[in-house]
Amino acid sequence: MISDTTFDAALDLTRQWCAIPSVKGEEKQLRHQAGAITDWLQQELGASIVSAVSSRGRPPVIHARMDVGAPVTVILYNMYDVMPATQEGWSVDPFKGGIVFLDGIGESFVARGAENNKGPLAGMLHAIKASADAGTLRVNVEILVDGEEESGSGAMRDYLADPGCPVRKSASAIFPSFCEYGGGAPRVYLGFSGIAKGEVRVDGGAWGGPKAAIHSSNAPWIANPVSRLIEALSLIGKPPTGELAKIALDDEALGIIAALTANFNPAAELRFRKTEAFSLEGDAQALLEHVLATASFNISSLESLPLGADGVIPHGARAGFELRTPPSLDPTDFLLRYRTALDAVPGAVLNVADSYAGFRFAADAPGVSALLKSYETTANSMPQIWPWAIGAAPAYAFAPHAKSFLLAGAGRGGNAHGIDEFMTLEGFRRFIQSIASWLDLMGREDEVA
């Protein structure tokens, strides 16, 4: 089992790194965080740094290596960028952190990045260190740490796509995270959805609409950019969820969902999602089939410009969006059709920040069995297996380098991107143990055959 010394060191490292406000877009702090990670990898872990440079001004992709001369190599991937946070509503300063007893959850470390993903990053690295220090590390480890996961992982995807990429061929890649969602059984995801992010925007100009906010009495004869934006948004996605299309689930996915239904609790899922009702009726199987099969266009923000104005015709309006697709659909196809449809809306512009398709792996891919066994021994509960995650990660970019890419780890966290982001102390210990157990199991030939 993981020692108290390892647990305490991992918690202290989490606290140190959460104190660095490496918010996406904050170049100085992102470089500071990248430097701190690189120093730790060299000085504390004894890893070789393959690369830790910035490309085109983006946060550095950190690639380190633990080579023990083993026949099997694995990849451990994680991230060091976080979302913004202010002190408003938090139990502690989000960029100092602290131990807080959360009602219904227990003793937890609260800070921005505690769950997403500096806690898992620190725990992952200490799991490797504990195995290496004990002489039980029987796999070579490629460590990849991303500085713009919250912005689409562009630099990491470019690094992995380079024909000369030095990442070694690996049996499996994992993205260590707290997978006991809502305090339930730990989950195994066999793939990830695709995503496109961007904005739909309308500004006053030659088509009409003012170039600066004007008095609303002009409404009868001056076009309103907000009205045009609403028209543009009506051309994509079915209310109230933005549904675009549904795929036919294959036999393997349907079989996994049928097994998942036995211990999936819709009411617990709603509590975890801080929601009172689903958007559709149906039992657990119907809900799971729908959420996994459906492509959707989500409006994440809606603004008139200037913000907070009253009694005016705004000079502009914008809507931020995320378009998510199951692995067999490409978000780019939906955007191409939407761009054509917007030709009918004067002034409407589609700006796409990033887009990539989803990817899935087979249930018997290397790494899956070892992950299930690690959960059974550390979480003491039967895991939930999902055919893919409804969230997005660039699994396709790892596919040329590893035979699987899995979100992995016991442990409970919550409130990612929100107030009082946390990881439970008890869960953090389980998380470290689960990653150490997975590394140990992957050193056995029967797990990677």
Number of domains, the chain: 2
247 shares its domain with 107: no
156 shares its domain with 256: no
* pTM for the structure as a whole: 0.90
326 shares its domain with 390: no
DSSP 26-78: -HHHHHHHHHHHHHHIIIII--EEEE---STTSPPPEEEEE----S-EEEEEE
Residue 38 near residue 56, CB atoms below 8 Å: no
- Condensed to tens digits (0 to 9), the pLDDT of residues 254-302 reads 999 999 998 888 998 999 888 999 999 999 999 999 999 999 999 999 9
Collapsing DSSP states into helix, strand and coil, what is residue 225? Answer: helix
Report the C-alpha gap between 118 and 113 in whole angstroms: 5
Signed CA dihedral, 272, 10, 91, 31: sign only? negative
Sorted by sequence, the CB contacts under 8 Å of residue 148 that are 6+ apart come out as: 24, 58, 59, 81, 154, 155, 156
242 shares its domain with 307: yes
Region of 9 on the Ramachandran plot (φ > 0 left; ψ -120 to 50 alpha; else beta):
alpha
336 shares its domain with 367: no
Q: Which of 138, 124, 176, 147 is nearest to 63 (CA)?
A: 147
105 shares its domain with 217: no
125 shares its domain with 204: no
Domain boundary among 356, 385, 406: 356
In the sheet where 48-51 sits, what is the strand order?
48-51, 62-66, 140-146, 73-79, 172-176, 405-408, 187-189, 384-386
Residue type, 403: K
183 shares its domain with 50: yes
Residue with token string 């009409």? 208
Cα distances (angstroms) measured from residue 145 to each of 2, 78, 333? 23, 5, 30
- Domain span at residue 275? 195-356
Q: Tell me the mean pLDDT in the region 387-402.
A: 95
Report the C-alpha gap between 138 and 445 in whole angstroms: 11
- Condensed to tens digits (0 to 9), the pLDDT of residues 134-173 reads 999 999 999 999 999 998 899 999 999 999 999 999 999 9
Which CATH number goes with the domain that contains 162? 3.40.630.10
**Average model confidence (pLDDT) across the chain:** 95
Whether residue 448 has pLDDT greater than 80: no
Domain boundary among 304, 329, 356: 356
Which CATH number goes with the domain that contains 348? 3.30.70.360
168 shares its domain with 213: no
DSSP 344: G
Q: Which of 33, 18, 29, 24 is nearest to 84 (CA)?
A: 24
DSSP 248: P
Task: Give the residue ranges of DSSP H helices in 251-367.
Answer: 251-261, 266-272, 284-293, 331-341
391 shares its domain with 432: yes
Domain boundary among 309, 327, 356: 356
Share of the chain above pLDDT 70, in %: 99
- Which runs of E-coded beta strand occur in 81-186? 98-102, 106-110, 140-146, 172-176
Q: Residue 449's pLDDT is what?
A: 58
Q: Which of 442, 437, 383, 445 is nearest to 127 (CA)?
A: 437
178 shares its domain with 327: no
Angle between helices 118-133 and 4-18 (to 10 degrees): 140
Binned at pLDDT 50, 70 and 90, residue 376 comes out as confident
293 shares its domain with 179: no
Report the C-alpha gap between 313 and 334 in whole angstroms: 31
- Condensed to tens digits (0 to 9), the pLDDT of residues 244-265 reads 999 999 999 999 999 999 888 8
Cα distances (angstroms) measured from residue 117 to each of 262, 300, 302? 30, 22, 27
- Condensed to tens digits (0 to 9), the pLDDT of residues 62-89 reads 999 999 999 999 999 999 999 999 999 9
Q: Residue 151's pLDDT is what?
A: 86
Q: Residue 444's pLDDT is what?
A: 87
Q: Residue 21's pLDDT is what?
A: 98
Q: Tell me the mean pLDDT in the region 398-408.
A: 96
